[in-house]
Chain A
Amino acid sequence: MNVELKNIHKHFGKVHANKGINLNIPSGTIQGILGENGAGKSTLMKILSGFIQADLGSEIILDGKPVIIDSPADAIHHGVGMLHQDPLDFPPMRILDNFLLGHSGGLFPNRTTVARDFKLLAEQFDFSLDPDSYVDALTVGERQQLEIIRLLWLGARILILDEPTTGISASQKSKLFATLTKLAGQGMTIIFVSHKLEDVEHLCNQVAVLRAGELVGETKPPYITSKLVEMMFGKVITLGERQATQAGEVVLSLKNISLEDVRLKIKNVGLEIRAGEVIGLAGMEGSGQGMFIRACAGLTRPVGGRIRLNGRDLTGKSYHTFKRAGVNFLPAARLEEGLVPGLNLTDHFILAEEPKGVFIDRAAGQKLAEERIQSFNIRGTPLSTVESLSGGNQQRAELALLQSPLSLVLLEHPTRGLDIESVIYIWSKLKERCRQGASIIFISSDLEEILQYSDRLLVFFSGKVSQPIDAGATSVEELGQLIGGKGWADMGDEHA
């Protein structure tokens, strides 16, 4: 099926997520979509698959006919099926029941014919799926296979895959690629969304790159990696003068740390961080850096290795023990994890302090709040609820909640979505902490921020962790390659 996207615009409030995207995908093509986090890939794919609707004036044309897709069910009706990064299936159910869901086949589905269809499809692609086993027993790769044949069975002629190679084994990946190539050969249109340069270069007939909501380029093979990276991350901007900090005593020492979740395994990471040092963690979202920073906070228990803080072994201890030892963690999801919606700033500052007695001294709390609001330049009053603050002010409030003294500050995306003024302000506050002897580890998807503010950095890719890289000795270009999974062999000495 030919897909034509014309002048796709999408606003979320003030955010312009898709800015007039035009894209033609002829039948039988495997189209790669590249872009960093927040580039607008997901928005575009959600529009095509009916999860969200584009702004007025945008057009989707399938086989020459303009269509309006207003729900995922409607999308599959038009032949558009989407495979989500986290498979949208129902783990406690049998495979066959899952297969049946979404099928509008009357009240009583004919299980025998469905089972036969299922078997035929599975055989065709050499998937070994038992229709009577339960979904929660499957690996991510198998769940993907189930979802692919389910979408095909529902009549999908366009298949959208969102980061399909994350969390699946190498053999499953080659099987997936074989399947996709075969489907394209049969005239299916495949849209392959990824940040993994290698996969995209290997599989796709043509590639489109998005950046900041715009389609910045389209290429066909042979692909030039450096050009793709440049398109993804934009022109390298010359950085301001970096401030080197003189490092002191070892604050955090990680020895052979291994971490695991359902998706990723990180093996044998070793790292020593000194007082005053800033470590940036780079990588596409979900490459393992989140798990790593949570392990440093005691929120995720490592499956192997030791964590020491100021010489004290804290391996396996809870976050509260870490916190008492001087570790603070500021999560990215400010209103979900960092702050308590419904409580005001004064309440927050009181909560963050050690209780003095039983009764709260409201007047003292109010005074404390006024001081912090002034010194952290928060636009709000002591009685403002946190959800009424803007994102930048919420972030300042989180910083104002940091305890004193502090050995280690862990931050997830400390400046995501903030205006430049807030970014500079927040980093000035963080650097102040460094001068007082705290170390900082932070995650950011903004490579310039990482290069600007960190002393050393680690790159994460699918659970692989690089050796610490001196931030002064690398570039956006080199980092971009590493993040996309290129150039790891040259380093030779990565941890995994």
Chain B
Amino acid sequence: MLKGRFGGFFFQLIALLLAFGVVSLILISVDASPADAYKNMFTGSFGSLRKFAEVLVAFVPLLLVTAGLLVTFSSGLWNIGVEGQVVLGAITTTWVFRYFLESDLPPALIIILAILGGMVGGAIWASFTGLLKVFGGVNEIFGGLGLNFVSTALTIYLIFGPWKRPGVASMSGTVPFPDEFSLPLLADLRISPWALGIALAGIVLVYFILQGTYFGLRLKAVGKNFRAAYLLGIPTWQYSMYSFLICGALAGAAGAVQVAAVYHRLIPSISSGYGYLGLMVAMLINYQAIWAVPVALFFAALNIGSIQLPILMKLDSSLSGVLQGILVLFVLLAEGVRQRFAKKA
């Protein structure tokens, strides 16, 4: 019973229970009621349509980033730089909007151009990590991390430098764009169905690439055994680059949506940490695209649900991060234990 698909599910269920158990202990240690905390998080995310719309606002970039990371993980790459790729997507989108501020082009076209621009920007930024890896021998984790810092610095420079608000520059970001530059939102809600569509299209695309195409199979071969893939005739380093480009484009789309549908300007923390959160989702779902939607939605709900905690219970909203982190650790641990069992059996 510990083998196969069901066995995997069994271990993950235990991991989930353990994660909630540990977080409960933490809550008890600060004299807070775990039941209340979980209840507040649930109502904070699913309690009303407005709240659920907020969950979807967080879900969109998270899903896009996760979709991209599934591609890099499949080719055996740790694209930590995804965070910076989100930022560069946002920067390029902002740049495109600014470029067309005075133009007579239809706004819909400008929005499309801006989002495509964001994808290109993210892809170019990802290609830096890829080039460093392929031609410079720099591990993608180090290259990506370094570029993340550069991207943050670049955002701050733009906000306080060339793109500063007239008068005084501020941490609140650049001047908001006119309303017609926004992706259409649902009435009274902050969620754009178009953004949701982009995200779902992204994950479906990735699912089909990985499941059904020669390209996806070759990516997996490169990821699982670089050397053997080369001997089988696959142009290995090119495939590493392709996967960086695809992931960068999807992360860039996440950044573009943050600008075009959520903040309507460039702000310093435009990526909101969705890059790193996406890494956790990708690890949690064991790199299987089919699970990306429910798990990303769950993580987004935790994030939004915990916003209420400081007000209602005087708990810090980072509780969601603690829960997410512990959950990932336990799931990985459970997987390790399961493999040990499988080996012995």
Q: In whole Å, how far is A349's beta carbon from the nearest beta carbon of chain B?
A: 11
A319 touches B213 (CB 8 A): no
Query: Residue on B with the closest CB to A352?
Result: B232
A320 touches B228 (CB 8 A): no
B212 within 8 A of A: yes
B6 within 8 A of A: no
The count of chain A contact residues (Cβ–Cβ below 8 Å) is 25
Bound-complex Cα distance A320 to B229 (A)? 11
Query: Which residues of chain B from 209 to 232 have any CB-CB distance to chain A below 8 Å in the complex?
Result: 212-215, 217-218, 220-221, 224-225, 227-232
Contact among B213, B214, B218, B231 for A337, CB-based, below 8 A: B231
- Given known A-B contacts A351-B234, A401-B232, A341 and B225 have beta carbons under 8 A apart: yes
Chain B contact residues, CB within 8 Å of chain A: 212-215, 217-218, 220-221, 224-225, 227-235
Contact among A320, A340, A357, A362 for B225, CB-based, below 8 A: A340
Q: In whole Å, how far is B14's beta carbon from the nearest beta carbon of chain A?
A: 25
Query: Residue on B with the closest CB to A323?
Result: B233
A358 touches B231 (CB 8 A): no
Contact among B213, B224, B227, B234 for A360, CB-based, below 8 A: B213
Bound-complex Cα distance A401 to B232 (A)? 9
A347 touches B228 (CB 8 A): no
Bound-complex Cα distance A447 to B228 (A)? 28
Chain A CB within 10 Å — which of B218, B224, B233, B235 has the most?
B233
A359 touches B221 (CB 8 A): no
Query: Residue on A with the closest CB to B236?
Result: A320
Can you name 12 extra interface pairs (CB under 8 A) apart from A320-B233, A342-B224, A401-B232?
A: A320-B235, A337-B227, A340-B220, A340-B225, A341-B225, A342-B225, A343-B224, A347-B220, A350-B214, A351-B217, A355-B214, A362-B212
Query: Residue on B with the closest CB to A362?
Result: B212
**A-B pairs with beta carbons under 8 Å apart, 7 shown:** A337-B228, A340-B224, A342-B220, A351-B217, A351-B221, A359-B212, A362-B212
A270 within 8 A of B: no
CB neighbours (8 Å) of B228 from chain A are: 336-340
B231 touches A331 (CB 8 A): yes
A453 within 8 A of B: no
Chain A CB within 10 Å — which of B212, B215, B217 has the most?
B217
Query: Which residues of chain A from 430 to 481 have any CB-CB distance to chain B below 8 Å in the complex?
Result: none
Bound-complex Cα distance A401 to B233 (A)? 11
Bound-complex Cα distance A264 to B221 (A)? 33
Q: In whole Å, how far is A388's beta carbon from the nearest beta carbon of chain B?
A: 11
CB neighbours (8 Å) of A358 from chain B are: 213-215
A360 touches B231 (CB 8 A): no
Q: In whole Å, how far is B227's beta carbon from the nearest beta carbon of chain A?
A: 5
A347 touches B217 (CB 8 A): yes
Contact indicator per residue, chain A 325-369, by CB within 8 Å of chain B (1) or not (0): 000010100001111111100011011100101111010000000
Contact among A319, A342, A352, A357 for B230, CB-based, below 8 A: A319
Bound-complex Cα distance A339 to B227 (A)? 9
Chain A contact residues, CB within 8 Å of chain B: 319-320, 323, 329, 331, 336-343, 347-348, 350-352, 355, 357-360, 362, 401
B221 touches A343 (CB 8 A): yes
Contact among B221, B231, B234 for A329, CB-based, below 8 A: B231
B218 touches A351 (CB 8 A): yes
CB neighbours (8 Å) of B227 from chain A are: 336-337
Bound-complex Cα distance A352 to B221 (A)? 11
Q: In whole Å, how far is A338's beta carbon from the nearest beta carbon of chain B?
A: 6
Bound-complex Cα distance A341 to B76 (A)? 13
CB neighbours (8 Å) of A360 from chain B are: 212-214, 217
B231 touches A338 (CB 8 A): yes
The 10 A-B residue pairs with the shortest CB-CB distance in the complex, in nearest-first order: A355-B214, A340-B225, A342-B224, A337-B227, A340-B221, A340-B224, A340-B228, A359-B212, A323-B233, A358-B213
CB neighbours (8 Å) of A319 from chain B are: 230-231
CB neighbours (8 Å) of B230 from chain A are: 319
CB neighbours (8 Å) of B234 from chain A are: 351
Query: Residue on A with the closest CB to B220?
Result: A343
CB neighbours (8 Å) of B215 from chain A are: 358
Query: Residue on B with the closest CB to A403?
Result: B233
Bound-complex Cα distance A351 to B213 (A)? 11
CB neighbours (8 Å) of A341 from chain B are: 224-225
CB neighbours (8 Å) of A352 from chain B are: 232-233
CB neighbours (8 Å) of B229 from chain A are: 340, 351
Bound-complex Cα distance A341 to B225 (A)? 7
CB neighbours (8 Å) of B224 from chain A are: 340-343
Query: Residue on B with the closest CB to A328?
Result: B231
Q: In whole Å, how far is B65's beta carbon from the nearest beta carbon of chain A?
A: 24
Bound-complex Cα distance A352 to B229 (A)? 10
CB neighbours (8 Å) of A357 from chain B are: 214
CB neighbours (8 Å) of A401 from chain B are: 232
Chain B CB within 10 Å — which of A343, A351, A352 has the most?
A351
Q: In whole Å, how far is A92's beta carbon from the nearest beta carbon of chain B?
A: 15
CB neighbours (8 Å) of A320 from chain B are: 233, 235
Q: In whole Å, how far is A22's beta carbon from the nearest beta carbon of chain B?
A: 35
